Chains A and B, each alone.
Chain A
Amino acid sequence: MKRKSRAAEKVIELAIALVAMSTIASILLIFLFVIKEALPIFTSAKTQAEASLARFFSTAIWQPVSDWPRYGLAPLILGTLKVTFVALLFAIPVGVGAALFTSEFAPRKAKEFLKPIVEILAGIPSVVLGFFALIVLASLLQNAFGYGSRLNAFNAGIALSFAVIPTIFTISEDALAAVPKSLREASLALGADRWQTAWRVTLPGAQAGILASILLGLGRAIGETMIVLMASGNASLLTASLFDSTRSLSATIAAELGEVVFGDPHYNTLFFIGTLLFTMTFFVNLGAGMMVDRLKRKLAGKL
């Protein structure tokens, strides 16, 4: 009896470990199957006649549906950079600033109000943020700044920052709260005021966590689709102005995959863009994970 139940325990443990491995399988399958559909770009001469690595960067025009399709990625990459830049430019000061206020200066009552507010913002589906940017924010910003095209990189970037702020705020706030109280007390005892303590002692102590929050925000911004698709105007222009209509890598997939012919060079190219997005966010998130580990080690050992 005893031996039998011990055997059963072993079987259960094995089964549980097997199910846990499904997470590893998922990430591998995602990578394999996205890259698989992009592979003809590297292997098939027929595809390469239209879409190849060299062709992606030898033209500045993205015009996949025409008699002479051109697959220049430069305007799309620039679009992603512009939108991400605006989003982070707004989200980093607001997210980190608010986290600093919430963890260091806010009275307890305010804290209990602020955290759920940010959770609400995090819970708003991105299609709703995209809708808001398209219908309300775009007109608001156009009236305020008086630029020409209503939907542009600036509008999309501001809307995108609404999705990035909760990430930056939450992780920064956690990192700040994890800095030991004794450090703050020591600083205050030495005569520093509350702002000096927060700025020179607490903030540097949470540095790794704040960097991690920014990297995670960056990953989110690069990959976010619906907001940019709805708010950026979707014209693939290669211009420097933030107030021109623009098109990102992710929005291009969303806008075009529905009408594409399976196995066509255009289809392969969209999967190549997907591979690009996957790889970029993978490394950005890996960096964020390393930062978090460093913070944990620092708080556990050295301090």
Chain B
Amino acid sequence: MAKRRFSLPILVTAIMTAVIVGIVFAILGNIFWFGHAHLSWEFLSTAPREGMTAGGIFPAIFGTVALVLLMTVAVVPIGVVTAIYLSEYARETSPLTRAVRLAVSNLAGVPSIVFGLFGLGFFIQFMGAGIDRTFHLEFTFNQPCLLWAAMTLAVLNLPVVIVTTEEALKQVPEDYRHASLALGASKWQTIWRVILPQALPGILTGAILAVSRGAGEVAPIMFTGAAYYLPYLPHALSDQFMELGYHVYVMATQSPDVEATKPILYGTVFVLLAVTFLLNLSAIALRSVLRRRFAGT
């Protein structure tokens, strides 16, 4: 009896697994099948026309790139420094460390729509209004714009960067720290010259994962800066912008002509997925570089 390798209950768990694989292939297959046909240079390089039933998605691509670049500039330094604190300085039992860890894990669990409310209430209504008052501007930063959408996404992605960076720092062997300290280097010199360079692929992984997640999040930016349609590209931090994910939402739910929009919609989803995947793949590749680097130690 015990020789039978796959009994009925095991088969059931195998079916559950097959269900997941089936879901993934169904989604990817469907989007690839209906999406790839619409890809063309014109689609990627021109603006939407005729109420989004014709033309391309260039402004949405441009806006997405601007958004995630700005977000990365904000989130990576803060996230990396926090990870350095947790990995190199913090005593696990100190109340501050526990508070930081609690904050990080709870930040990761806040619903994305709540980040949208936060961005509106804090960045636009509070910070933006303050900046406008201080510099005597009229509704420049006290309104949804590129800067505040990027900042909102930065707060949302803080846990992603912190967790991946801390993991990367923890993978650097203790011996490296001891060797550097024994040679007379100070703690900060050790971190700056020895540990950070070794953990660089892991830090990059965190940044890329944040970018990939940032490129797909819609709920936090729909009230903090993303625009339904804009006839021009954003050229200042206080401009609104179009974004791929939001564009998908708008075309899927508010198109005047659903059938005419459908090919464009599929094309846009295809581009969004392709961007997210390329980013995720490069993150996975970088992570394995780090694993191999310390495989021997």
Contact = CB atoms under 8 A, between A and B. Distances in A.
B111 interface: yes
> Chain A, interface size: which category?
35 or more
Contacts of B90: 20
B122 interface: yes
A121 B23 contact: yes
Contacts of B212: 123
B104 interface: yes
Interface in A1-26: 5, 8-9, 12-13, 16-17, 19-24, 26
Interface string A259-303: 000100000001100100110011011101100000000000000
Given A98-B20, A125-B216, A128-B269, A282 B109 contact: yes
Interface stretch (B39-47, B218-226, B234-242): B218-226
Contacts of B12: 97
B282 interface: no
A224 B111 contact: yes
B16 A94 contact: yes
Interface residues of B, number: 85
Nearest to B253: A230
A5 B187 CA distance: 11
Interface in B108-134: 108-118, 120-122, 125-126
A50 interface: no
Interface in A198-240: 198-199, 216, 219, 222-226, 229-230
Contacts of A226: 218-219, 249
Q: Which one of B108, B245, B246 has the greatest number of beta carbons of chain A within 10 Å?
A: B245
B252 interface: yes
Contacts of A198: 10
B109 A165 contact: no
Contacts of A127: 216, 218, 245-246, 248-249, 272
B280 A223 contact: no
B253 A125 contact: no
Given A219-B109, A282-B109, A253 B7 contact: no
A222 B112 CA distance: 11
Contacts of B114: 30, 34, 223, 274, 277-278, 281
Interface in A122-150: 123-132, 134-136
Contacts of A250: 111, 113, 219
A81 B162 CA distance: 32
Given A93-B16, A124-B273, A134 B5 contact: no
Contacts, number: 258
B107 A128 contact: no
A37 B5 contact: no
A124 B252 contact: no
B277 to A, nearest CB: 7
Nearest to A110: B17
Nearest to B102: A289
A29 interface: yes
Interface string A94-136: 1101101110111000000010111111011111111110111
A12 B84 CA distance: 11
Interface stretch (B24-32, B49-57, B171-179, B194-202): B24-32
Contact of B186 (A9, A29, A222, A225): A9
A101 B111 contact: no
Contacts of B81: 16, 19-20
A277 B269 CA distance: 29
A54 interface: no
Contacts of B218: 125-127, 226
A284 B110 CA distance: 11
B82 to A, nearest CB: 4
Nearest to A140: B26
Contacts of A34: 114, 117-118, 121
B100 A281 contact: no
Contacts of B219: 126, 225-226, 250, 254
Given A98-B17, A262-B125, 10 more contacts: A8-B188, A27-B110, A120-B277, A123-B277, A127-B218, A128-B272, A225-B219, A274-B117, A277-B114, A278-B114
Interface of B: 1-2, 4-7, 9-10, 12-17, 19-21, 23-24, 27-28, 30-31, 78, 81-82, 84-86, 89-90, 96, 99-100, 102-118, 120-122, 125-126, 155, 158, 162, 186-188, 212, 215-219, 222-223, 245-246, 248-249, 252-253, 262, 265, 269, 272-273, 276-277, 280, 284
27 contacts: A9-B188, A19-B78, A20-B90, A23-B162, A30-B118, A36-B121, A97-B16, A98-B17, A98-B19, A101-B10, A101-B13, A123-B280, A124-B216, A125-B245, A126-B112, A126-B217, A129-B27, A132-B31, A193-B4, A219-B109, A226-B249, A253-B116, A254-B116, A277-B111, A282-B109, A284-B109, A285-B108
